[in-house]
Structure 1
Amino acid sequence: MSLVNKTLEVEKYVSLGYKMLSQETHLIVLQTHWPNVKSSNAQRDAESNVTSQKSNAKTYSS
C-alpha cells in the first residue's frame, strides 16, 4: 500500500511540475515571439511604404 501511495505522490508532483513548466514555457514563448511579431509588422509596413513610394515615383516620371 505504501508503494501505491508513493507512486500517487510522485505522479502528483510530476504533473504539478509539468503544469508549472508548461506555463513557464508559454510565458517564454510569448515574451520571445511577441517582439518578433511587432517588428515583422513594422518591417512589412516599411516595405509596403517603400513599394508605394516606388510606384508613385514611376507614376510621376512617366
Structure 2
Amino acid sequence: MKIRALVSFSGVLSMRKGQEMEYNNEIVLQDLLQARYIDEVETPTKGVKKNEGKRGSSK
C-alpha cells in the first residue's frame, strides 16, 4: 500500500511528515491508520485516453 505520513513518527516504521512510501505489513499499517499517523495515497489509474496517442489524423 502506498502511504503518506501525516506526522513524523519513529518505531517499527519511521517516517517524516509528508513522506510517501510503499509498505506492506498490514498489522503496522492498521495501527498507524487508527492513530491517524498515516493516510493511504490514491494511485491514479494509468491508461491512455481514446485517440490521445494519435498525431495528425484529423482527416
Q: TM-score, normalised by structure 2?
A: 0.27
Q: TM-score, normalised by structure 1?
A: 0.27
Higher strand share goes to which structure?
2
Larger radius of gyration: 1
Higher relative contact order (CA 8 A, sep 6+): 2
